[in-house]
């Protein structure tokens, strides 16, 4: 549901451009199409590929400003998706018709269930992780996401009660945690979690080779970092907090170029960058250096999007592997001393299968 400060002449176009800019700043590659403006300040929006639930949670209560200075507030978001058919994983024609409480949608609902955005595997997986076992999810600000641990405990009790109440004559059948249907061509990962083969392929296409349940990496994650170089030098200068070793100075150089199909705006030019980062020249620092080199080779250090400092679009920006770009100033200035930095960056790299 939207609340406008004043109605623009081309409401649908302005809404689409504003939402697309908002999504570009939070995740590359998302396409936002406003299908139509509905009554009662509702809008029907299609987002591809599947966005993370956390991103959509942030959209609630967001105030966006249009070029003419007017604003609109996203007061609530309702998500829907069709139940994936293992034989036709890319078919979005079968909609869900249940709300978060499991009740059927009212026939008077102004937004037809058949027109909901095709949020498929990733949304369903995040619902699995957060124990939202339903075919539609409504977010009212952040309230729908509060007290997840309690919801998890409640859901666990429900499952235990159901499983414990089965008698010898009952037949239980394992279901895929993505489509919630009996397994079709079951595939088991090293972490022991199992999925339908097509469901797992769809999840991998959306979020990479990461287990949807435990988030362990089961393959090689390749990013969309543009081509460039990574070099480093060593000196005897000491970093604050590392008085017994020198400094490793890393230089990343990414020249300007043209975006490819992996990037937000294929065919558009992007502005390159040169960045410098620092590590202590000790055993752990050199280990982290090699991990960062591996991440760079897998194109995971940088991405293309909006600059976090200037807001300019089509810029080479840091991805989500943090670097120390200053020698001094501590964590607030992205510098040293920061005794926990090396362990933190190791965890960030591990989350991408680099360890």
What pLDDT was estimated at residue 190? 87
Does 132 share its domain with 239? no
CATH number of the domain where residue 238 is located: 3.30.390.130
Tell me which DSSP letter residue 271 carries. Answer: B
Q: How far is CA 268 from CA 11, 70, 304, 305, 313, in A?
A: 26, 28, 11, 12, 11
Q: Name the domain boundary from 145, 167, 195.
A: 145
Task: Tell me, yes or no, whether 154 lies in a domain.
Answer: no
Nearest to 30 by CA among 123, 112, 143: 123
What pLDDT was estimated at residue 53? 67
79's enclosing H/E stretch is: strand 77-80
Cα–Cα dist 44/37, whole Å: 6
Does 111 share its domain with 15? yes
Task: Tell me, yes or no, whether 199 lies in a domain.
Answer: no
Task: Tell me, yes or no, whether 355 lies in a domain.
Answer: no
Kindly report the pTM of this predicted structure.
0.51
DSSP string, 111-141: S-GGGS----HHHHHHHHHTT--SSEEEE-T
The angle formed by the CA atoms of residues 220, 223 and 228, to the nearest 5 degrees, is: 115
Cα–Cα dist 125/133, whole Å: 10
> CB–CB of 70/4 below 8 Å?
yes
Q: Name the domain boundary from 145, 164, 180.
A: 145
Does 112 share its domain with 8? yes
Task: Tell me, yes or no, whether 194 lies in a domain.
Answer: no
What pLDDT was estimated at residue 39? 60
Does 8 share its domain with 135? yes
What pLDDT was estimated at residue 79? 60
Cis previous bond, 202, omega within 30: no
Across 80-95, b (16+ Cβ under 10 Å) vs e yields bbbebebeebeebeeb
What pLDDT was estimated at residue 45? 82
The angle formed by the CA atoms of residues 258, 262 and 267, to the nearest 5 degrees, is: 30
Q: Which tokens sit at 334?
A: 């992205």
* Enclosing domain of residue 78: 2-145
Q: Which residues contact 222 (CB under 8 A, 6 or more apart)?
A: 298, 299, 300
Q: Which tokens sit at 193?
A: 């979690």
Q: Which tokens sit at 249?
A: 């100075």
> CB–CB of 250/276 below 8 Å?
yes
Task: Tell me, yes or no, whether 220 lies in a domain.
Answer: no
In tens digits, the chain (355 residues) has pLDDT values of 566 666 666 777 778 888 888 888 777 777 888 877 766 567 778 787 777 766 776 777 677 777 666 677 777 676 654 434 433 333 333 333 333 333 333 333 443 333 333 333 333 333 333 333 333 333 433 333 334 344 444 544 444 444 444 433 333 458 898 888 899 899 899 888 999 999 998 888 877 888 888 888 888 888 899 999 999 999 999 999 999 999 999 999 999 999 998 898 999 999 999 999 999 999 999 999 999 999 999 999 999 998 888 888 999 999 989 999 999 999 999 999 999 999 999 999 998 889 8
Give me the residues paired with residue 276 across strands.
Answer: 251
Task: Tell me, yes or no, whether 191 lies in a domain.
Answer: no
Cis previous bond, 49, omega within 30: yes
Domain count, the chain: 2
Task: Tell me, yes or no, whether 161 lies in a domain.
Answer: no
Q: Are strands 31-37 and 43-48 parallel, antiparallel or unpaired?
A: antiparallel
250's enclosing H/E stretch is: strand 246-254
Task: Tell me, yes or no, whether 162 lies in a domain.
Answer: no
Nearest to 100 by CA among 143, 71, 159, 42: 143
Q: Name the domain boundary from 145, 175, 190.
A: 145
What pLDDT was estimated at residue 336? 97
Tell me which DSSP letter residue 213 carries. Answer: T
């Amino acid at each position: 549901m939207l609340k406008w400060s004043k109605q623009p002449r081309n409401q649908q176009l302005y809404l689409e451009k504003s939402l697309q800019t908002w999504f570009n700043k939070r995740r590359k590659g998302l396409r936002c199409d406003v299908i139509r403006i509905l009554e009662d300040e509702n809008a029907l929006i299609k987002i591809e590929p599947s966005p993370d639930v956390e991103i959509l949670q942030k959209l609630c209560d967001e105030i966006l400003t249009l070029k003419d200075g007017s604003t609109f507030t996203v007061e609530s978001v309702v998500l829907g998706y069709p139940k994936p058919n293992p034989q036709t994983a890319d078919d979005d024609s079968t909609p869900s018709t249940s709300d978060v409480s499991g009740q059927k949608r009212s026939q008077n609902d102004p937004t037809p269930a058949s027109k909901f955005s095709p949020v498929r595997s990733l949304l369903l997986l995040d619902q699995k992780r957060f124990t939202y076992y339903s075919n539609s999810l409504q977010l009212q600000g952040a309230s729908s996401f509060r007290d997840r641990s309690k919801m998890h405990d409640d859901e666990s009790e429900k499952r235990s009660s159901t499983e414990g109440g089965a008698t010898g004559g009952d037949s239980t059948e394992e279901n895929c945690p993505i489509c919630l249907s009996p397994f079709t061509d079951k595939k088991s990962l090293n972490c022991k979690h199992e999925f339908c083969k097509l469901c797992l392929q769809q999840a991998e296409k959306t979020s990479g080779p990461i287990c949807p349940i435990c988030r362990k990496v089961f393959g090689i994650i390749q990013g969309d970092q543009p081509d460039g170089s990574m070099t480093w030098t060593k000196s005897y200068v000491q970093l604050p907090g590392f008085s017994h070793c020198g400094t490793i100075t890393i230089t990343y150089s990414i020249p300007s170029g043209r975006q490819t199909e992996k990037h937000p705006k294929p065919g558009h030019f992007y502005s390159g960058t040169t960045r410098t980062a620092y590590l202590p020249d000790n055993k752990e620092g050199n280990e982290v250096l090699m991990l960062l080199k591996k991440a760079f080779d897998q194109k995971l250090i940088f991405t293309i999007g909006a600059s976090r400092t200037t807001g300019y679009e089509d810029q080479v920006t840091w991805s989500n592997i943090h670097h120390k770009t200053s020698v001094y100033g501590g964590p607030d200035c992205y510098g040293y001393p920061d005794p926990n930095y090396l362990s933190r960056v190791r965890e960030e790299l591990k989350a991408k299968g680099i360890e």
